[in-house]
Amino acid sequence: MPSAEFFAALRSIIGPERCITDPGLLLAYECDGITHLRTTPSAAVLPESREEVQALVRLCATHGVPITGRGAGTCLSGGATASAGGILVVFTRMKRILKVDAANRLVVVEPGVVNARLSETLRPLGLAYMPDPSSQTACTLGGNVGENSGGPHCIKHGATSASVLALEVVLPDGSVVNCGHARGRTAAPDLRGLIVGSEGTLGLVTAITLHLERIPRHELTLLASYRDMRSACEGVSAVIAAGILPSALEALDDRTIAALEASGKPSGYPRDAAAVLLLEFDGEASAVRAEAEAASALLRNAGAITLEEATDSEQRKRLWKGRKGAFGAMGRLAPDLYVMDTVVPRSKLAEVLPQIGRICDQLGLRLANVFHAGEGNLHPNISYDGRNPDEVKRVIEAGHQIVELCLAAGGVLSGEHGIGTEKRDYMPLMFGADSLSAMRDLREVFDPQTLFNPDKLLPTPRICAESGFPGKPRTRP
């Protein structure tokens, strides 16, 4: 626990009302979207300017107090929780949209701006910020940068990194560096790209310049249903292999559809469907039509039992209803939900998904899959009761087996939720000693004191031994 002197200085920087130390109030900051990983911060502070962030960082550096940046705390890898004795710097009050430049299709925002609020602000201008995490009504752009977040519509336009032009970053010594440039390219190696997805370990982002797209003139949504997931996956692979680039390509399995029906908010998807694909195409009408027709033929060929198409916004909304409600419905199945995130090559979906089903069946766990199929980005969702230690143990084991399965299929640890503490100890499964030591070097260059989010992202021998969830340290064969 930091000293009384530290807390006094903290309050003098930020004022008592934006410096939360009351244990009752701190409960709200104990965990992020991974409810299993809990630590109580010694304080949660809510700065309103870059200068305040700099002062906070300098104070923490002097006292050796760890800092974790936090947006809305919806992170699904345990990355937005405080480190032992550390504080949380919560960016939700830095929520100004600083500049909208329609001519150059860019905005400058503070990190606390909520993703969906930016889209609402831009809509009247005919502009859109494309990355749309399913959590977009809550999550912040700073958090999106922290995780390099994706979303259903990232297959065509790319995840967060592809939209980030420049960042203003407070480094662990309190100094500021501006990385990237509004024009897109710089003379330097791409520090901007390094900081995106670095999970708050290299710097705290205090301003973000984002590239915008024009709102597409036409959108067409296709819903294809299948009697089994294997056929649906073959449909996905066929569309991708044909070089068709939809703006979204999502999948739901029978267990998710059943959860939707059980939740009292039925999806409206065909009753005999064991798997559903949602595809969207955007652009000019004739291009959208040509792509949708080509995709429909391939989907039918893979065994689609129904194919529905919608172009007007009400109809499209209806087709998306099940996808949008999926997480909520699964949340109602059991007290806790473990949303996993891994990626496999898109040609391996049909092979890997049934094996994930078997892993969970064998461990007696309730699984449902809803995922970004077009990118091979899986979300095996396991509903469980965190009060049952045996079930928690089985969830951890399933997570481990799924990770190993996906890596063996040529995949990676995470597609969009990041490493955090959840997958930290799996890093040696994917990276050899040289790669890990280079990543450690890189972190030390930015943060020699390891002040920023210290126990996240990279395994250390000490942390491996201490970690509870899910952490079974193993090394790459």
Partner 1 sequence: MSTPDPTTLFTSIVGSAGVSHTDAGPLAQRHMTEVTPASRAECVEIVRAAHRERIALFVRGSGSELRLSEYASPAALLCTTRLDQVIEHAEGDLTFSAEAGLSLNAAQALLRPHGQRLALAPRAPSATLGGIMARAADGWTRKSCGLVRDQILGCEVVLGDGRVVHSGGRVVKNVSGFDLCRLFTGARGAWGVVLSLTLRLRAVPQQRRVSLHAASDLAAAFATAHALNASLPDAEVVRVRVVNAAHGTTYAVLLSLAGPAARVEEAVASADDLAGSATELALAALHDGGTPQCVVEVLPADTAAATRALLAYGAGGVIDADVATGTVEFMAPRAPEWDPTALSALAHELRGLEPLVSFPAHPESLRWQRAEFGAVDAANAALLRRLAQRFDPRGIFEPGLHSWK
Ligand X SMILES: Cc1cc2nc3c(=O)[nH]c(=O)nc-3n(C[C@H](O)[C@H](O)[C@H](O)COP(=O)(O)OP(=O)(O)OC[C@H]3O[C@@H](n4cnc5c(N)ncnc54)[C@H](O)[C@@H]3O)c2cc1C
Chain centroid to CA 269: how far? 26
Q: How many CB atoms are closer than 10 A to CB 228?
A: 16
Contact between 200 and ligand X by CB under 6 A: the answer reads yes
Rule CB under 6 A: which of 34-63 touch ligand X? none
Q: Of residues 63-92, which lie at the interface with ligand X (CB under 6 A)?
A: 68-76, 79-80, 91
Contact between 144 and partner 1 by CB under 8 A: the answer reads: no
Helix (H) or strand (E) holding 278: strand 275-283
404-427 as b/e, with b when 16 or more CB fall inside 10 Å? ebbbebebebbbbbbbbbbbbbbb
Q: Does 477 participate in binding partner 1 (rule CB under 8 A)?
A: no
In the set 26, 125, 307, 442, which binds partner 1 (CB under 8 A)? 442
Q: Is 64 in the site for partner 1 (CB under 8 A)?
A: no
Q: Does 463 bind partner 1 (CB under 8 A)?
A: no
Say if CB 174 and CB 210 are below 8 A apart.
no
Q: Which of 83, 91, 88, 92 is nearest to 38 (CA)?
A: 83
The verdict on 142 binding ligand X (CB under 6 A) reads yes
Check residue 322 for interaction with ligand X (CB under 6 A). Answer: no
Size of the site for partner 1 (CB under 8 A): 89
417 part of the interface to ligand X, by CB under 6 A? yes
Smallest gap, in angstroms, from Cβ of residue 132 to ligand X? 7
Q: Following CA atoms 234, 239, 245, 249 in sequence, which dihedral angle do they give, to the nearest 10 degrees? A: -40
Residue among 307 and 442 whose Cβ is closer to partner 1: 442
Please tell me whether residue 125 binds partner 1 under the rule CB under 8 A: no
Residue ranges in 448-477 that form contacts with ligand X under rule CB under 6 A: 453
Cα–Cα dist 346/230, whole Å = 12
d(CA 330, CA 184): 40
Beta carbon of residue 304, minimum distance to partner 1 (angstroms, whole number):
19
Radius of gyration of the chain (CA): 22
DSSP H or E stretch at residue 225: strand 218-226
Among 87, 122, 179, 205, binds ligand X (CB under 6 A): 205
Query: Residue 241 CB, nearest distance to partner 1 (Å)?
Result: 4
Least Cβ distance, residue 79 to partner 1 (angstroms) = 11
CA neighbor of 154 nearest in space, from 143, 164, 163: 163
Residues counted in the chain: 477
Residue 75 vs 299, nearer CB to ligand X: 75
Q: Does the footprint of partner 1 cover residue 219 (CB under 8 A)?
A: no
Angle between helices 229-241 and 349-362 (to 10 degrees): 150
Q: Which residues pair with 384 in a beta bridge?
A: 336
283 contact, one of partner 1, ligand X, none, CB 5-8 Å limit per kind: partner 1
The answer to whether 194 contacts partner 1 (rule: CB under 8 A) is yes
Min dist. Cβ of residue 204 to ligand X (A): 4
| CA–CA separation, 163 and 311 (whole Å) | 26
Does 98 interact with partner 1 (rule: CB under 8 A)?
no
- The DSSP call for residue 231 is H
The residues with which 108 forms a beta bridge, in sequence order, are: 99, 209
In the bound state with ligand X, the residue whose beta carbon lies nearer, of 7 and 91, is: 91
Residues that bind ligand X (CB under 6 A): 32-33, 68-76, 79-80, 91, 111, 133-135, 139-140, 142-144, 146-147, 149-151, 199-200, 204-205, 327, 416-417, 453
